[in-house]
Chain A
């Protein structure tokens, strides 16, 4: 007997909803086994990760809003990436664009320090942040359209360049002149004209969250109603047909890379002006890479990405709680997240393929 896969004509909607639930359950089982092997109570560990951030009486009032803070950059970046991914355009250098957005946005703001006019400083920083990410994404995009250079690799390589730039900025050009010689810029979140603080107290809501929600809505609209969304979907499904239909592939590459770069840059700016506060050597925290995973967990659909981003944030925050409440090593949480991703990726096959049991093997 042999199991074969048969491609569904269209992805199953039922499975598309059921598979993430299935994956979470599978992860709970496998993760529970791992926690038990580490000598911890598996039920308690799972409860701490998935339940306590939302409903624990001591911490939930704080950690619930924090979910938004943690999820916002992931959702913002992933939404931009998903457009390109749907069209077969692989920007995996969002981490670099995120860093460049933070550098450019912070630099634009710091150039005006200590100006107090928020209506000048903050919008300018937002603009510079988006532009920084956009320009950084344009490098692989233009190399691809001009020379057919593989954008996966160029965008990835540019991440390292951006990281090195970040270190040199923290130690050099953007270093806080009043910081006693220590690496790191001024703290933007303590400068009212530039701060991306909470808009409503204790909600976690900052401009990055709003931008993420707007991006999700815009992307949903784009994909459903706009001709560009149609072009993207058509190119992803049938590149040759798209070309015959008059889609200009080069234009699509520039647009998709540009949008994802600008959104990643925005995420970087909102992070550096808000939660992170400053340009520092360790600023890059891998959001750009995690967002790729979030994009796929969300099945490349804007609403899916919104949920996937929140789930990812939940495992981060729940993982932190589990670490200090139950003394779980942080490595166990990392491995647990890895498992969750594996299962989510694996069960996706159910929504795209039908599983058949064939009695005669022929493959």
Chain B
């Protein structure tokens, strides 16, 4: 117990609160590891949110909704990929344009679905385990996406670290000219990384519209995409730290509401800005410790590649 708050339920609810930003951040991490800075996460999330809801409502299946959301997020990220990888447009500007476009398009698609309830996504009830004290509610009382989001972190961590594909991806993100000289298809690798990022952002958005809220309203993701971007930095591009970062960010927002509900007196605005300040401090610490290597950021982050031959 902490100031009248049940710690077990607090952890359980922050795990749920963190799923959208965790998914989106995991996807963005992969894109950034490949050297692509896609600031359009918010746009891809909200497209995922609306397409997921529409598909789930019409098919009656939340799983199909999530599938559609991943496809929609990936489709939007394809626009980004086309512009930055083929037309060699600036990534920062394209990402911002992507968010603008995504917000507008999602609202157009969502007309007529405002307030419609999607089919419910069930919780996994594991007999015996779910009823355990303390650990039961924390670990075994969630919907499948809470576990899947953690599993995705594990998969991404393993692929990046242990597989050849991961090695190539990192090489492309560190030095695309060298990677190209070694015969790797820089543009193709980045394209796939961008699509993965888009699909994950779409899933994160769908979690908001299908599970967490669950409904469609304009602007439903309310800035979660930007937080996902911050988390990737906070994590200094390490998958497991993305998990910690997402839980920390999700945790602080849940915690401040819980503290309020429990009657504690807290300066809400200052608590709201604390995760960002902490992230900046973490960034500084990492980069200082590395003696000026830019805080573990992929060296080619945000730079476009053109094979001069």
A adjacent to B, CB under 8 Å: yes
Contact B111 A329 (CB under 8 A): yes
Q: Which B residue's beta carbon lies closest to that of A337? A: B100
**B269 adjacent to A167 (CB under 8 Å):** yes
Could you say which residues of chain B place their CB within 8 Å of the CB of A345?
Answer: 83, 87, 89-90, 93-94, 97
CB closest chain-A residue, reference B40? A338
Check A338/B100 contact, CB under 8 A, given A149-B294, A157-B279.
Answer: yes
Q: Mark the stretch among B63-71, B126-134, B170-178, B282-290 that contacts chain A.
A: B282-290
Q: Is there an interface contact between B88 and A349, defined as CB atoms closer than 8 Å?
A: yes
B308 to chain A, nearest CB (A): 7
A325-357 CB mask vs B (1 if < 8 Å, else 0) is: 000011111111111011001111100110000
Indicate whether A160 reaches chain B with its CB closer than 8 angstroms.
yes
Q: How far is the CB of A161 from chain B (nearest CB, A)?
A: 5
Q: Is the CB of A335 within 8 A of B83?
A: no
Is A292 interfacial (CB 8 A cutoff)? yes
Residue of A38, A139, A152, A332 most packed against chain B (CB within 10 A): A152
Q: How far is the CA of A120 from the CA of B276 in the complex (A)?
A: 36
- Indicate if the CB atoms of A157 and B307 lie closer than 8 Å: no
Q: Are B107 and A334 in contact (CB under 8 A)?
A: yes
Question: Are B284 and A143 in touch, CB under 8 angstroms?
Answer: yes
Task: Spot the interface stretch: B19-27, B117-125, B196-204, B226-234.
Answer: B226-234
B189 at the A interface (CB under 8 A): no
The smallest beta-carbon distance between A273 and chain B, in angstroms, is 24
Contact B233 A150 (CB under 8 A): yes
Contact B293 A148 (CB under 8 A): yes
Q: What is the chain B residue whose CB lies nearest that of A334?
A: B104
Q: Are A92 and B88 in contact (CB under 8 A)?
A: no
Query: What is the size, in residues, of chain A's interface with B at 8 Å between Cβ atoms?
Result: 53
| Smallest CB separation, A249 vs chain B (Å) | 12
On chain A, the residues within 8 Å of B293 by CB distance are 148
Render B250-278 as a binary contact track against A, CB cut-off 8 A, 1 for contact: 00000000000000000001101100110
CB-defined contacts of B75 to chain A, threshold 8 Å? none
Are B88 and A149 in contact (CB-based, < 8 A)?
no
Q: A332–B104 contact, CB under 8 A?
A: yes
Are B302 and A152 interface neighbours, CB within 8 A? yes
Residues of B within 8 A of A353 (CB): 88, 306
B277 proximity list for chain A (CB < 8 A): 161
Q: Which of B87, B106, B226, B283 contacts A346 (CB 8 A)?
A: B87
Give the contacting residue for B87; candidates A148, A293, A349; CB below 8 A: A349
Is B103 at the interface (CB under 8 A from chain A)? Answer: yes
A228 contacts B by Cβ under 8 Å: no
Residue-wise, chain B 215-256 has the 8 Å CB interface mask toward A (1 for contact) of 000100000001001100100000000000000000000000
Partner of A5, one of B88, B97, B301: B88
Provide the bound-state CA to CA distance between A161 and B292, in Å: 25
The residues in A between 236 and 275 inclusive whose CB is less than 8 angstroms from any CB of B are none
Give min CB distance, B246 to chain A, whole Å.
Answer: 16
Which B44-73 residues sit within 8 Å CB-CB of chain A?
Answer: none
Chain A nearest Cβ from B29, distance in angstroms: 13
Residue A2 interfacial (CB < 8 Å): no
B81 smallest CB distance to A (angstroms): 12
Given contacts A160-B230, A165-B273, contact A335 B108 (CB under 8 A): yes
Whether A135 is near chain B, meaning CB under 8 Å from some CB there, is: no
CB distance from A153 to the nearest CB of B (A): 4
A338 touches B270 (CB 8 A): no
B167 at the interface (CB under 8 A from A): no
Given contacts A150-B283, A331-B218, contact A337 B292 (CB under 8 A): no
Q: State in angstroms the CA–CA spacing of A175 and B242 once bound together.
A: 38
**B294, chain A: closest CB distance, angstroms:** 5
**Smallest CB gap from A170: residue in B:** B269
Question: How near does chain B come to A280, taking the closest CB pair, in angstroms?
Answer: 14
B269 surroundings in chain A (CB, below 8 A):
164-165, 167-168, 171-172
From B102, B107, B233, B302, contact of A157 by CB (8 A): B233
**Complex Cα–Cα for A210 and B85 (A):** 39
CB atoms of A153 and B283 under 8 A apart: yes
Does B214 touch A at the CB level, under 8 Å?
A: no
* Interface assignment of B37: CB less than 8 Å from any CB of chain A: yes
Is A147 close to B, CB under 8 A?
A: yes
Determine whether the beta carbon of A154 is less than 8 Å from that of B94: no
B264 to chain A, nearest CB (A): 18
Does B155 lie at the interface of the complex (its beta carbon under 8 Å from any beta carbon of A)? no
Instruction: State whether A342 and B96 are in contact (beta carbons under 8 Å apart), knowing that A157-B279, A332-B104, A336-B104 are contacts in the complex.
Output: no
Give which listed residue, A92, A148, A154, A168, contacts B270 with CB less than 8 A: A168
A157 touches B100 (CB 8 A): no
In the A-B complex, the 5 residue pairs with the closest CB atoms:
A338-B101, A334-B104, A331-B107, A335-B104, A341-B97
| Partner-A contacts on B (CB < 8 A) | 37, 39, 79, 82-83, 87-90, 92-94, 96-98, 100-108, 111, 218, 226, 229-230, 233, 269-270, 272-273, 276-277, 279-280, 283-284, 287-288, 290, 292-295, 297, 301-302, 306-309
Name 12 interchain pairs, CB-CB below 8 A, sorted by A: A7-B308, A157-B279, A292-B92, A293-B96, A295-B93, A296-B93, A331-B106, A334-B101, A341-B94, A342-B83, A349-B88, A353-B306
**Known contacts A90-B302, A152-B37, A329-B108, then 17 further A-B pairs from the complex at CB < 8 Å, ordered by chain A residue:** A149-B284, A149-B294, A150-B295, A156-B226, A158-B280, A160-B276, A164-B273, A165-B273, A296-B93, A331-B106, A334-B101, A338-B105, A342-B94, A342-B101, A345-B89, A345-B97, A349-B87
